[in-house]
Structure 1
């Protein structure tokens, strides 16, 4: 007689992708804040902020796709974060719009991370 395995709600490593997205986003915000408050001067290595932005967008997309197969609720929670992340390059960097738009992604990324952990 065969035993049935219990169906698990969590079918794989979706949450590491969500966690990576949250870490990249937090690192990018921390660097942006440090530059804005002049704690760090990135004139010589401006590419770091751009690389963190690309990593944030990439890991958010990865989390969305990974979550569609494993944790649909977490994917739906993080999906709206892609809209402000897509607008950021066009917002200008020396205005108040840039950090305001960047911060609108925060609740969605946090919701995705928290939802994927449950």
Structure 2
């Protein structure tokens, strides 16, 4: 989204990262709860993880190009700690409690990134 007075707006980028993370967690919880059987399309959870990781990287890079500059940098700093669980999750194993706990440890940072990306002068 562009505005004639400003560069690229960053909130949609952070929203995309948070949405893909949320969808991935929801799919993982549904599989763990045996609500959904993904044995025939197991790749979907992996594809969502790749989308989450890529959109998180784009959101973090908005600290360099995003407008408004201040809120872009604050949002990137709020999201940055989510990188650690995203890096660790492939090594956490899929059985037991470790995998969901590591995955859920990123949630506050995705929420912080979205909250900080919102332009304060547009809030009412």
The two structures share one fold, judged by TM-score above 0.5? yes
Partner of 1:78: 79
Alpha-carbon RMSD: 1.3
Residue of structure 2 aligned with 1:65, choices 49, 61, 70: 61
Query: With structure 1 as the length reference, what TM-score do the two structures score?
Result: 0.88
Question: Contact conserved, 2:18 with 2:111, CA < 8 A, in 1?
Answer: yes
Which structure's CA Rg is the greater one?
A: 1
Uncovered stretches (5+) of structure 1, i.e. residues with no partner:
1-7
| 1:37 lines up with 2:33 in the alignment | yes
CA distance in 2, matches of 1:59, 1:65: 10
Partner of 1:47: 43
Uncovered stretches (5+) of structure 2, i.e. residues with no partner:
67-71, 120-124
Query: With structure 2 as the length reference, what TM-score do the two structures score?
Result: 0.84
Following TM superposition, the consecutive aligned residue runs of length 4 or more in structure 1 with deviations greater than 6 angstroms are none
Question: Contact conserved, 2:53 with 2:86, CA < 8 A, in 1?
Answer: yes
